[in-house]
A = this chain, B = another copy of it.
Amino acid sequence: MTLQRHDCRALDQTDPLAALKTQFDLPPGVIYLDGNSLGVLPRATATRVQQVIQQEWGQDLIKSWNTAGWIDLPERIGNKIGRLLGAAPGQTLVADSTSLNLYKVLSAALSLQQARDGARKVIVSERSNFPTDLYIAASLAAQFGARLQLVDSPEEIAPLLNNELAVLMLTQVNYRSGYLHDMAAMTQAAHAAGALMVWDLAHSAGAIPVDLNAADADFAIGCGYKYLNGGPGAPAFVWVHARWIESCRQPLAGWMGHASPFQFTTDYAPAPGIRRFACGTPALLSLAALECGVDTLLAAEPLGGMAALRQKSVALTELFIALTEARCGELGVRLASPRDAAQRGSQVCLSLAAPLEHASYAVVQALIERGVIGDFRAGDPARLEAVPHILRFGFTPLYLSFTEVFDAVEHLYQVLKQQEWQAPRFAAKGKVT
Please report A residues at the B interface, Cβ cutoff 8 Å: 25, 27, 30, 32, 34, 37-38, 40-41, 45-46, 49-50, 52-54, 56-66, 70-71, 96-100, 103, 127, 130-132, 134-136, 138-140, 143, 150, 225, 231-236, 251-256, 258, 260-268, 279-287, 289, 368, 373, 375, 377-378, 431-433
State whether A53 touches B231 (Cβ < 8 A): yes
Instruction: State whether B150 touches A252 (Cβ < 8 A).
Output: no
In the assembly, what is the distance between CA of A127 and CA of B266, in Å? 7
Q: Would A59 and B262 count as touching, CB distance under 8 A?
A: no
Q: Give me the 3 closest cross-chain CB pairs, A-B, nearest first.
A: A97-B280, A99-B254, A283-B286
Expressed in whole angstroms, the Cα–Cα distance for A53 and B287 within the complex equals 13
Q: Inside 8 A of A256's CB, which chain B residues have their CB? A: 99, 132
| Chain B positions within 8 Å of A251 at CB level | 103, 139-140, 143
Distance between A54 CB and nearest chain B CB, rounded to angstroms: 6
Least distance between A248 CB and chain B CB atoms (Å): 14
The residues of B that contact A98 with a CB separation of less than 8 Å are 280-281
- With the chains together, A267 CA to B66 CA distance in Å? 44
Distance, CA A432 to CA B286, complexed state (A) = 26
Measured between C-beta atoms, what is the minimum distance from A16 to chain B in Å?
A: 26
Chain B residue with the shortest CB-CB distance to A286 = B283
Number of copies of this chain in the oligomer? 2
CB-CB nearest in chain B for A255: B132
Report the nearest B residue to A270, measured CB to CB.
Answer: B135
Answer whether A263 and B378 are a contact pair too, CB < 8 Å, given A139-B253, A143-B251, A253-B136: yes
Contacting pair A233 B131 (CB below 8 A)? no
Given contacts A62-B375, A232-B281, A283-B286, 19 further A-B pairs with CB under 8 A are A52-B232, A56-B232, A96-B100, A97-B281, A98-B281, A100-B252, A103-B252, A131-B261, A132-B255, A135-B267, A138-B253, A139-B268, A232-B284, A233-B280, A234-B283, A260-B431, A262-B432, A283-B283, A283-B285
